[in-house]
Amino acid sequence: MFENEASDFSFKVEKIMNIRFRATTMAFVVLAAAACALGQKLADKKALTLAVAKQVAAAAESEAAKNKFTMVIAIMDDGGNLIYLEKMDETQIGSIDVAQAKARSAIAFKRPTKAFQDAVAAGNTGILKLPGAIATEGGVPLVVDGKIIGAIGVSGGTSAQDGTVAQAGADALAKILTQ
């Protein structure tokens, strides 16, 4: 009598353990599949670091100093957040906000601010109504592998001087990343 009960009990325990093992295995498979699906939905993107931002600004500052310009240099991430700002000695303080606005404009519209300046010069004054569009040279996107990772904005000189200094910083990015 006890042998049959023990045998039945053993069979039931084994069955329960088997069911638990299958349930645990199935839960693991579902979680693994969800993790894979999540990984496929999220993009890998490169982000601008403070160290790189400082090097981009240093290249721009070098260009400004070489030409005896005084400038404010702003480096923004791809969301338009300030990463690094440098005001060279004797630069007017109004250029602090202008440099940041140029960088944000270059990010928001995915183009150098010179494109807006050129459009206005060609008679397209509607550009001036675009929120955040700065129609003066000196804002340049920072691009890696075809993707904008931030922007540099420069102010303090003439529009052409600001553009030259900003472009020097943007051009230095590729060299900085290969070091």
Tokens linked to 125: 């004054």
Shared domain check, 70 and 21 = no
* Judgement on whether residues 95 and 56 belong to the same structural domain of the protein: yes
pLDDT value of position 67 = 97
Burial of 142 (0-12, 13-18, 19+ CB in 10 A): buried
CB contact set of 131 (below 8 Å; sequence gap of 6+): none
> Does residue 30 share a domain with residue 63?
no
CATH of the domain at 149: 3.30.450.150
* Structural domain that includes position 81: 50-177
pLDDT digits (tens, 9 = 90+) for 122-153: 999 999 999 999 999 999 999 999 999 999 99
Q: How far apart are CA 29 and CA 23, in angstroms?
A: 10
Per-residue pLDDT tens digits of the chain, which is 179 residues long: 556 665 666 666 677 767 777 767 777 777 666 666 666 788 888 999 999 999 999 999 999 999 999 999 999 999 999 999 999 999 999 999 999 999 999 999 999 999 999 999 999 999 999 999 999 999 999 999 999 999 999 999 999 999 999 999 999 998 999 88
What residue type is 175 in one-letter code?
K
16 and 77 share one domain: no
